[in-house]
Structure 1
Amino acid sequence: MSNNVYEIKESAIADPGPLGLACFALTTFCLSMINAGLVDKAATIVVIALALVYGGATQILAGMWEFKKNNVFGATAFSSYGAFWISLGIFDLLATLKLVTVPSQGVWLFLLAWTIFTFYMWIGSFGTNKALVVTFTLLLLAFILLTIGAAGNHAAHTWGGYVGIATAIVAWYTSAAGIFNTVYGKVVLPVGPCKK
């Protein structure tokens, strides 16, 4: 036994990836249903709550645990998109309460910046697995369409919603694969390793 009573033993942690992907998928799905026009815009209040708590704070926690697992891609993705959701939730909440008016150019700038970030995360995803490559390919396309939509193109905004729904479905699949493959100790849902 060590004489140092403050010695901390290294402990393994579970993979935070499925949690981060679930947070991302669920929040993306709800917002995208509104963007696609399949759910009334009044449902935005549900997205605000999800953006602040599940897609935001909980996803950031998953990102912090990815740092613990030394996964720079997962840590950067989950922490950043968690912050995206909190930011979006805050300005949607302020707009809903009529405390601020978010200018369309501000929304465009916000989405353009996230499109740029998503572009290089998409390139980084090529070093992960095929399921994440598909997730980030769809996410990048969704951001491009939503950015064009924020510039005044309503059709692009609607298509961005549909692509966002597809993004959420693939992210949910990838999350489920991480859970099922771990608890059953075998490949139940394949994610397809990328060639390195």
Structure 2
Amino acid sequence: MVEMIHAQANPTPLGLYAYAITNLLGNLYTINTRGISNGNLIIGMAISCGGLAQFMAGMWDFANSNTLGGTSFTIYGTFWMSYGLMHIPGLNSVTSYAGESADQLPNAMGIYFAMWFLISALFTPAFLRSSVVTFSMFVTLDLMWMFLMIASFTGSDATRKVGGWSGIVSCCLALYEGTCILYTSDVTPIRLPRPMMPFAAKSVDDTESDIKDKDGIPEVKYSA
């Protein structure tokens, strides 16, 4: 019996970076940075980086037996794909609300954001055993969806901007977490502080997986 260990690359930094820079761009438009009120430039980035890159990171996480990471990256990848697609004029999704049904668009967007607030709220407790940064990232993401939902229903510009700032905080946390995981000992001597949640204490069942996941690079064993 010969046992070989094959180290698989960790897709988590890719997923976090794709989430962070796409969502950061979107929220900078949300708060009208430098007077920008038309944020349609995000369409291409939403479909490619936020959508495709996150979706692929999710698929690779599934291959690494990471159900939580695979599910979260994949579902948020589909968000950005859907958001980008529905803002393409030729597909007539948002533009179909012109005319007599124009007053329905804010409520339709409010319900759309409510669905993502729901799924994010369900994800958040699942990260109680992760790092403080990751958990905080999801809490601020929840706030972003909640405020964007409320802003759509009420038409409050101030609430919309609060949602945008909440999203910006979430993106900054995602960039930091992604960098913490990317900076492994074989890449750089730089190590960033990465405090863990109190619930993340090791149990007997976790010991073996923690050893395999040293420096954030899962290892898969093959027997021959």
Q: Same fold (TM over 0.5)?
A: yes
For residues 25-40 of structure 1, what are the structure 2 equivalents within 5 Å?
A: 25-39=20-34, 40=36
Q: Which residue of 2 aligns with 1:109?
A: 111
Deviations 1:73-106 (A, max 9, x none): 1111100000000011111223897753381111
Moved more, 82-91 or 101-110: 101-110
Aligned residues: 187
Q: Which residue of 1 aligns with 2:62?
A: 67
Q: Which residue of 1 aligns with 2:165?
A: 162
- Residue 45 of structure 1 and its aligned partner are, at CA, apart by 2.9
- Residue 184 of structure 1 and its aligned partner are, at CA, apart by 4.0
Contact 1:20 1:78 in 2 (8 A): yes
Q: Which residue of 2 aligns with 1:3?
A: none
Cα gap change, 1:76 to 1:182, in 2 (>3 Å): farther
Contact 1:94 1:100 in 2 (8 A): no
C-alpha RMSD over aligned residues: 2.2
CA distance in 2, matches of 1:84, 1:182: 34
For residues 5-154 of structure 1, what are the structure 2 equivalents within 5 Å?
A: 11-39=6-34, 40-42=36-38, 44-94=39-89, 99-101=95-97, 103-151=105-153, 152-154=155-157
Contact 1:122 1:137 in 2 (8 A): yes
Q: Which residue of 2 aligns with 1:192?
A: 195
- Residue 177 of structure 1 and its aligned partner are, at CA, apart by 0.9
CA distance in 2, matches of 1:134, 1:105: 29
Secondary structure of the residue aligned to 2:50 is helix
The runs of 5 or more residues in structure 1 that have no matched partner are: 1-8
More strand per residue: 1 or 2? 2
Contact 1:57 1:82 in 2 (8 A): yes
- Counterpart amino acid of residue 17 in structure 1: T
TM-score, length-normalised on structure 2?
0.77
CA distance in 2, matches of 1:164, 1:153: 17
The runs of 5 or more residues in structure 2 that have no matched partner are: 200-224
- Counterpart amino acid of residue 30 in structure 1: L
Q: Percent identity?
A: 24
Moved more, 156-165 or 184-193: 184-193
Q: Which residue of 2 aligns with 1:172?
A: 175
CA distance in 1, matches of 2:145, 2:85: 19
Contact 1:181 1:189 in 2 (8 A): no
- Residue 195 of structure 1 and its aligned partner are, at CA, apart by 2.6
Cα gap change, 1:70 to 1:94, in 2 (>3 Å): same
CA distance in 2, matches of 1:162, 1:95: 31
CA distance in 1, matches of 2:173, 2:86: 27
* Max Rg structure: 2
